[in-house]
Amino acid sequence: MLLKTVTQSLFALIVLSGIIFQNALAHTVIEPPQVTEGKSSNNHVVITHGCGDEAVIGQSVVIPDGNSSTIVANGAPYAGSLSDFLQNWGNVITFVQDRSVFSEQDRKVDANGNTIGFWFGGGRTVASYARGHIPFVSGAILFVPESCAKVVRFTFAVADICKITSINNMSEENSVNFWTPAVGSKYDGTPGGHAYDFPAFFTVNRDLETNPLPESCGAGQQITVKPSAAQVDRDMPIILNGTQVWPQP
């Protein structure tokens, strides 16, 4: 009887673990999710599923610009600049032109011409049960040697689009999946939804061999960078030839 009970408990644990694992894999992510300071990397924003049974027809990505962003250091709000930790954020993300998934694409830039996002769409679709890889390149990101930053984690805001609607008619059941931080933007998604406040993360690790922490830093700082609500609202829409095509105005 005891053996049967233990066996049933283990089976339940395995099933539960499998469900959790599958759910974790079901979220749109960045691969590889981490890069090392000073090294460039070929990355992808990975579309992992559609909107219910609806295929994904496009994707929009917003990358923290580092200027209006919210910064947290070891769990506490940081009022300073991202440049206190990184030497060159703002000009290290490169848009990759690739029509293997979608036929149309373009980057989003700030006033200085830095890539702060990109979008892909049109032509083919990504079936609801399939994966799609949207490429970008991260250049050699450099930490400020005097800083105590050990890890900087960037929060990307991503929308996987299944139907083109107005923002008021969006449904996370059949028209869009939001993988965005809950920062108070129009694209936060629905509280309690399956992906609410579940953005895609891109982490940069300090190269402690070539750029060790100052002795006064102890274990170092974990830095998190999120786009502001104003940036997400400004940069999430898809603009094609000067016209906003998603969401519908």
One DSSP character per residue, 135-163 reads EEEE----B-TTS-EEEEEEEEEEEEESS
Assess if residue 13 is contained within a domain. Answer: no
Assess if residue 11 is contained within a domain. Answer: no
Residue 115 CA to residue 108 CA, distance in Å, equals 6
Assess if residue 139 is contained within a domain. Answer: yes
DSSP classification of residue 26: T
Token pair in block for residue 192: 């309690």
pLDDT for 3-28, tens place per residue? 444 334 433 333 333 333 334 446 89
CATH number at residue 156: 2.60.40.2230
pTM (predicted TM-score): 0.89
Assess if residue 14 is contained within a domain. Answer: no
**Closest residue by Cα to residue 208 from 31, 87, 38:** 38
Q: Which residue has 């930053």 as its token pair?
A: 149
Assess if residue 1 is contained within a domain. Answer: no
pLDDT for 53-73, tens place per residue? 999 999 999 999 999 999 999
Residue 58 CA to residue 102 CA, distance in Å, equals 7
Assess if residue 46 is contained within a domain. Answer: yes
Q: How many domains does the chain have?
A: 1
Based on the number of CB atoms within 10 Å of its own CB, is 15 exposed (0-12), middle (13-18) or buried (19 or more)? exposed
DSSP string, 55-77: PEEEEEEE---SSS-EEEETTEE
Please list the pLDDT of the chain residue by residue as tens digits (249 residues): 444 443 344 333 333 333 333 344 468 999 999 999 999 999 999 999 999 999 999 999 999 999 999 999 999 999 999 999 999 999 899 999 999 999 999 999 999 999 999 999 999 999 999 999 999 999 999 999 999 999 999 999 999 999 999 999 999 889 999 999 999 999 999 999 888 999 999 999 999 999 999 999 999 999 999 999 999 999 999 999 999 999 999
Assess if residue 8 is contained within a domain. Answer: no
DSSP string, 173-242: TTTEEEE---SSSTTS--TTSTTTT--EEEEEE--TTTSPPPGGGTT-EEEEEE--HHHHHHHSSEEETT
Assess if residue 19 is contained within a domain. Answer: no
Residue 8 CA to residue 2 CA, distance in Å, equals 10
Q: Give me the domain span that covers residue 51.
A: 27-246
